Amino acid sequence: MLSNTEKELIVQIWDKMIPVAEDIGSEALLRMFTTFPKTKTYFSHLDISPRSEHLRCHGKKLVQALAEGARNISTLTTTLAPLSRFHAYQLRIHPTNFKLFNHCILVTLACHMGENFTPVAHAAIDKFLSAFSAVLAEKFR
Amino acid sequence: MVQWTAEERAAIQAVFAKLDYKSVGLESLTRLLVVYPWTRRYFGGFGNLFNSEAIMANPKVAAHGTVVLQGLEMALKNMDDIKNTYASLSELHSEKLQVDPGNFQLFGDCLTVVIATRMRTEFTPDIQAAWQKFLAVAVSALRKQYN
């Protein structure tokens, strides 16, 4: 359940991330691959070494999708429908991995925003990421 | 037994060296209570936990935050035998405090976020990985006596 204040805060934060989408996205992915090596099993088709072109490109896509979701929080299911189908029928990622990625996004935001990543911002973004992942996993079964 | 590389030991020591237990403990516990509000069920005697500002100003939260960080320091000082070091703490949490162990992970996540806001770019992916491995071992040891 997101309050209106939280929804505004989420949009504000993600809008700031769009210009640095490659940096944020690739860093979150790298943190996930380093802390949770099993997540690398989904990326055997890419070069996911630090600072690789694939990592930056994929990171950018992820942050842009998150920013798009942030701007359409009340219609997440419709907005994310194509991504939802993609994750269910093609990617078939084990659902526990969403939490691992979400955690690494939080850590990345914390590193970049420092004390501006307040407890209230942390709560709002965590709730947003949970809602986003739930929609992505919706069609899994 | 858990194996630690020299780099992992160094990384974990480096993180601890930067920790102001009082301030980090308070902020981590605050985040736990704000981001995961169901955890407030364990702190009924703490008074005002109504919102982020109230929690950060609450002296009982501050005191308890320090206690938790001191508990983690015990694990740091006994990194090669965290399981036994935490045996009585585990029993305390399961038998007396009756805390759902799923919440240990959540506290660890909040602590990691606080460290990230303080260390910023110094909290590299490699340091994060070592730190989270340490937390995972501590959490696992805390869960050991639950049955």
Which residues does chain A have within 8 Å of residue B126's beta carbon, measured at their own beta carbons? 34
- Count: domains in chain B: 1
- ipTM field: 0.89
- Is the CB of residue B109 less than 8 Å away from at least one CB of chain A? yes
Under 8 Å between Cβ of A8 and A14: no
A93 close to A113: Cβ distance less than 8 angstroms: no
Strands (E), A26-125: none
pTM of the model: 0.93
| Banded model confidence at residue A56, pLDDT cuts 50, 70, 90 | very high
Identify the CATH number of the domain in which residue B60 sits.
Answer: 1.10.490.10
pLDDT in tens, chain B (147 residues): 899 999 999 999 999 999 999 999 999 999 999 999 999 999 999 999 999 999 999 999 999 999 999 999 999 999 999 999 999 999 999 999 999 999 999 999 999 999 999 999 999 999 999 999 999 999 999 999 888
How close does chain B come to A120, measured CA to CA in Å? 7
Helix (H) or strand (E) holding A28: helix A21-35
The answer to whether residue B1 is domain-embedded is no
Q: Sort out which chain A residues have CB atoms less than 8 A from B113's CB and list them.
A: 106-107, 110, 117, 122
Q: What pLDDT, on a 0 to 100 scale, did the predictor assign at position A37?
A: 94
Give tens-digit pLDDT for B103-129. Answer: 999 999 999 999 999 999 999 999 999
CATH class of A4-140: mainly alpha
Write out chain A residues lying below 8 Å of B27, CB-based.
119
**Residue (of A48, A46, A56, A55) closest to A21 by Cα position:** A56
Write down the pLDDT at residue B41: 92
Domain boundaries, chain A: 4-140
**Is residue B56 one of the residues assigned to a domain?**
yes
Whether the per-residue pLDDT at A84 is higher than 90: the answer is yes
Q: Show the CA angle centred on residue A27, arms to residues A10 and A11, nearest 5°.
A: 10
Interface test with A, best of B111, B112, B128 (most A CBs within 10 A): B128
Q: Which domain holds residue B94?
A: 6-143
- CA pair distance B138, B84, nearest whole angstrom: 11
| Closest residue in B to A102 (Cα–Cα) | B109
Query: CB of B22 within 8 A of CB of B101?
Result: no
Tell whether B101 is covered by a domain: yes
